[in-house]
Chains A and B, each alone.
Chain A
Amino acid sequence: MADTRRPLSPHLQVYRWQVQMVSSILHRATGVALAIGSVLVVAGLLALAGGEQCFDAFRHVAGSPLGMLLLFGWSWALFYHLCNGIRHLIQDAGAGYAIAQFVRSSWISIGVSIVLTLLTWAYVLTAGGAA
């Protein structure tokens, strides 16, 4: 039970969906996903430090269908958070606040992140398959 009875934001239900809203929500969602995904970075490093058997087990899990699916999702989350993060830094500097620019930069974040994800996985798959 919340400590207050007044209505609490975000009041998503009163807004018409628009791309700036999607880019903002995705930034937080991918941020949380990446924080959880950082467990993979720790696991990889610990496995590498732990010896060859450990590392092979890690590779086996990472290269499994579920592992690859998670890696695909995390790679897009990383590229999206990266692109939109750069967009936010530019906005923090005071630029790009006109509505048209705001909408366009939202689409650019989404578009570029998808392109980078596809390029990365095209490289991974053409370089000979799973890790």
Chain B
Amino acid sequence: MTAKDLRHPIKVARGLGSSRSGVGHWWMQRVTAAALIVLAVWFVLTVLGLLHADYATARATVAQPWNALLLITFVLTLFWHAALGLQVVVEDYVHTHGRAVCLLVAIRFLAVLGALASVLAVLRIALTH
């Protein structure tokens, strides 16, 4: 800020650094982690339950309303948590600004793509069963 700058210092700080989001990232990483404790255990148990199931049984299981709902919740939470975690890894270890920005955008894109593809698959199974 120069002497000619008539803006209040808070105007310069807003939108930069942690003043943009505060603890939002940290908090959502914990919230999604707490949800994933339950959802991931449920997912593993469900997959183990389908170990020797034939195609029709596996599809019917996924098509059940509660399973479809929990599965969609699981994949959305999973990709949200993964995107937040990978973001921290990139921010910590990629020290070239341009490369870091590209990776952060790529992570977001891939996470949204993965989440939406999974949701679409579950909906297709649940609604066309």
Chain A residues engaging chain B, CB cutoff 8 angstroms:
1-4, 8-9, 28, 31-32, 34-35, 38-39, 41-42, 45-46, 48-49, 52, 55-56, 75, 78, 82, 85-86, 88-89, 92, 120, 123-124, 127-128, 131
Contact present for B97 and A48 (CB under 8 Å):
no
**Chain B, 26-55, CB within 8 A of any chain A CB:** 30, 33-34, 36-37, 40-41, 44, 48, 51-52, 55
CA distance A9 to B44 in the complex (A): 36
Query: Given known contacts A52-B55, A127-B52, is B78 in contact with A38 (CB within 8 Å)?
Result: yes
User: In the complex, how many residue pairs between chain A and chain B have their CB atoms under 8 Å apart?
Assistant: 87
- Tally of B interface residues using CB under 8 Å: 35
Contact present for B114 and A32 (CB under 8 Å):
no
Interface CB pairs A-B, < 8 A, 7:
A42-B75, A46-B121, A52-B55, A75-B44, A88-B33, A89-B34, A131-B52
CA distance A71 to B118 in the complex (A): 19
Query: Given known contacts A8-B95, A78-B40, A82-B40, is B82 in contact with A41 (CB within 8 Å)?
Result: no
Q: In the complex, given contacts A32-B86, A48-B121, what are 12 additional A-B residue pairs having Cβ atoms less than 8 angstroms apart?
A: A31-B82, A35-B86, A41-B118, A42-B75, A46-B121, A48-B59, A49-B120, A78-B44, A89-B30, A92-B30, A120-B48, A123-B48
B85 beta carbon closer than 8 Å to chain A: yes
CA distance A32 to B114 in the complex (A): 15
Chain B residues engaging chain A, CB cutoff 8 angstroms:
30, 33-34, 36-37, 40-41, 44, 48, 51-52, 55, 58-59, 62, 71, 75, 78-79, 82, 85-86, 89, 92, 95-97, 114, 117-118, 120-122, 124-125
Contacts of B114 in A (CB 8 A): 38-39, 42
- Closest B residue to A131 using CB positions: B51
* A-B complex: 3 closest residue pairs judged by Cβ atoms: A2-B95, A45-B121, A49-B121
Q: CB within 8 A of A85: which of B33, B58, B75, B121?
A: B33
Contact present for B89 and A85 (CB under 8 Å):
no
Contact present for B125 and A42 (CB under 8 Å):
no
Query: Given known contacts A48-B62, A127-B51, A128-B52, is B34 in contact with A38 (CB within 8 Å)?
Result: no
Contacts of A78 in B (CB 8 A): 40, 44
